[in-house]
Structure 1
Amino acid sequence: MKNLKFILLLFLSVSVLSCSDDEDAPQFLLSNANIAGTYEIGSLTGEQKETATSSQGAEVDLATSSIVGANFQVDLILTADGTFDAEGLYREIVTSTPNGGATTQTEELLSVDTEGTYQINTLNNTISFNPTTGDFLAGTFNIEAFTQTFVSIMQESETAEGSNTIYKTLNIGFTRE
C-alpha cells in the first residue's frame, strides 16, 4: 500500500510538472514571406447543397452532395511576392443524394493548371486567390490552420441559378514539401 501511494504521488508530480503553457511557444505569423513555399495537397473535402425557393417563399432541398479528393499529384507554389502556381492531377469523387432519389457516385480525374496572384488579410485570417489562368483556387478562403509545415483553408460560397441556390463548402489541406 505504501508503494502504491508513492507511485501515485510520483505520477501526479510528473503530470503537473510536465504541463506546458501553449502561449510560451512562439507563434508562426501569417505573412507572404512565411507562407511562401511549395505545398502538396494532403486532403480535399467538401459539401454541396442545392435548394429551390417556391413562389410562396418556401425553401426545398433538391440535392446534397459530398466531395472527396484522392490520389493527389498537385503542387502549389506560393511566392513571397504574392504569386501562385498550381499544377497536377487529382481524382474527385462526388456522392449525390437527390431529395427522394437514389444516391449516385461519380469519379473524375481533374487536371489543375492555374496561376495568378494571392493576397493575405491578417485581420480576418483569409487568403484570396485571383487566377489569371485556370479556376482552381479562385476566390477568398478562410485560413483554418497555419504552421511551418501545414496550411488548411476553407471556402463557403452561395450561387443563385434562377430560383435555385447552391451552397458549397470546400476544405483543402496543404503540406509543405
Structure 2
Amino acid sequence: MRQSRPELEAESWAFALAIYARPGVAEACLALQYELGVDVMLLLIATFAAVKHRILLTPDEIAAMDEACRPWRDRVVRALRAIRTELKTGPDPAPSDATEQFRSKIKTLELEAEKLENRLLAECLPLRPGQAKARPEQLRAVLNDVVMRFADQRGTKATAGLSSSIDVIVGAAMQDA
C-alpha cells in the first residue's frame, strides 16, 4: 500500500458502499450483525484489504482494529442504530409519518458515524506490501476470523447459515479481485 491515509480511507469507503450494494451482500452482512454482533465495517475493510491490496489480515491485526474502533462503535454507531431500529415500532408517537422523517435523519447520522468508523479502521490497516492475489478460501478464512471474534465475544457459535453469509460476501468480493 503506497496510498496516503486519506486516499486509503476514501477508497475503502467507496469499496464498502459498492460491495454492500451488491445482491445479497447487505442481507448477509446484517445476518452476521444481528446474530453475532459482527461489526460490518470491520468485515468490509478486511475484505477491502484482501481484495484491493492483497493483504490478508491476521487474527492479531483484526483484534487490534476491533479494539481501535470499539469505543466509537459501541457508544455512537450502535446507539444510533438502536434508536433508529426502535422507531420502527415505537414508542408513541412512533411509528408515524413524522417519526419516519426523524428516523430517516437518524439513519443518515448512523451512516456518517459508520464512515467515521471506516476512517478509524483505515488508519489501522497495516501498510505492508501485498502478496499474491487473494484466493476465495483465503478471504473466507479472514472473514471467518472476523466473525469468530464476535461470536467468541458473545459466547455463541456461528451456524451453517451464517457461514453461507460469509460465502455471499466472498463471492461478491471476488468479482473485484
With the shorter chain as reference, the TM-score category is under 0.3
TM-score by length of 1: 0.25
**Which one has a larger percent strand, Structure 1 or Structure 2?**
1
- The structure whose RCO (Cα within 8 Å, separation 6+) is larger is 2
**Which one has a larger percent helix, Structure 1 or Structure 2?**
2
TM-score by length of 2: 0.25
